Amino acid sequence: MSNYAVVGNPVSHSKSPLIHTLFAKQLDQTMSYSAIPLEESEFDAFVIEFFAKGGGGLNVTVPFKEKAFKLAASCSPRAELAKAVNTLFLDAEGQICGENTDGIGLVTDIKLNHQFKIQGRDILVLGAGGAVRGVLAALIDEQAASITVVNRTVSKAAQLLDAFAGMANLQAMSYQELDEVANSGRSYDLVINGTSSSLQGEMLDIDARLLAKDCCCYDMMYADTDTVFVQWAKKHGAGLSIDGLGMLVEQAAEAFALWRGVRPSTVNIISQLRDHS
Ligand code: ATR
């Protein structure tokens, strides 16, 4: 039987074992998938040994995505841009390869599951940490009209966008500048929360006038009940107010497809997880 796992710290709360077990059941595949907590110093040795012992693939979550990127012998262009890897597998030569499926997971959830068109739209991204870096390449590929990245520490947003310079109409700004945008009457079609503020249960101080009519508000975080960002979006009449559960399932489906050569269907699994939360 092939073994798979997600490694991170903490990882006991991870829904990945359940998601991959449901995928395997749906496709009648025999595999095991566990959640393994690691200390930072153990990461490289664990991964090398896992694959040496015939492991089929690994998912990597916080705080090891950058370490996984550095460890992989080769990475996809998206993982190179993200400088972060969430999926590891062996190629035909037995080398450890890295992919980042977070961005495609986000885009698939928005476009296919929620039928929201990204092309030609003005996007506002809140936050400029690892989570945002991981999805920017996939968002850029969707050919939005513009992508504005706002961060508390504005220099981090500018630095992040440097890596993507010339690939799209990109702009970094502070929350203060964003207030000026709101005052000017400009608004955004898609607002993505990529900050960790939801984890702290805090709403960001942003002006609801920034939401265009029928806009889509997407929180990359998820929780068993509406996140504060989703609550805020609903309160202010966003066309769509979505949390990151669908993104989680879609990124997992991409990883499963890489490992097993077949992509599970996700819609029923997203609703199953939603019902069980
Ligand atoms: P992750 O890997 O989850 O992205 P991270 O790299 O620590 O974690 O980034 C967290 C992001 O959330 C950053 O953009 C951070 O802003 P700063 O770079 O200015 O610290 C943002 N963030 C966290 N809490 C926030 C808050 N209360 N208000 C605004 N931004 C917040």
Q: Please give the distance, rounded to the nearest whole angstrom, from the Cα atom of residue 196 to the centre of ligand 1.
A: 5
Distance of alpha carbon 208 from alpha carbon 80, whole angstroms: 35
DSSP state of 265: P
Mean pLDDT on 243-269: 97
- Tens-digit pLDDT profile for residues 29-80: 999 999 999 999 999 999 999 999 999 999 999 999 999 999 999 999 999 9
* pLDDT of 24 over the 80 cut: yes
Report the pLDDT value the prediction gives residue 198, as an integer from 0 to 100: 78
> How do beta strands 74-75 and 146-150 pair?
unpaired
Q: Would you say residue 214 has pLDDT above 80? A: yes
Distances (CA, A) of 177 to 154, 171, 192, 264: 10, 11, 17, 43
Q: Where are the alpha helices (DSSP H) in the chain?
A: 16-26, 43-52, 65-71, 77-82, 102-108, 130-141, 154-162, 175-184, 228-235, 245-260, 267-276
With a pLDDT cut of 90, the percent of the chain lying above it is 94
Quickly count: other Cβ atoms within 10 Å of residue 211's Cβ: 24
pLDDT at 197: 85
Residues flanking ligand 1, CB < 6 Å: 127-131, 151-153, 156, 195-197, 200, 202, 204
Statement: residue 277 has pLDDT above 80: no
Q: Report pLDDT for 276.
A: 76
| Res. 275: pLDDT tops 90 | no
Q: How does pLDDT run across 114-172, given as a tens digit for each residue?
A: 999 999 999 999 999 999 999 999 999 999 999 999 999 999 999 999 999 999 999 99
Q: Has domain 2-100 been given CATH number 3.40.50.10860?
A: yes
Pocket test for ligand 1, best of 9, 193, 196 (most atoms within 8 A of CB): 196
User: Nearest residue CA, atom 6 of ligand 1?
Assistant: 129
* Amino acid 201: pLDDT: 85
Spacing, Cα 31 to ligand 1 middle (Å): 36
Strand partners, 87: 59, 99
Q: How far is the CA of 50 from the centre of ligand 1 (A)?
A: 32
CATH 3.40.50.720 fits 103-246, yes or no: yes
Domain boundaries, the chain: 2-100, 103-246
**pTM exceeds 0.85:** yes
**Rounded (5°) CA angle 123-208-138:** 15
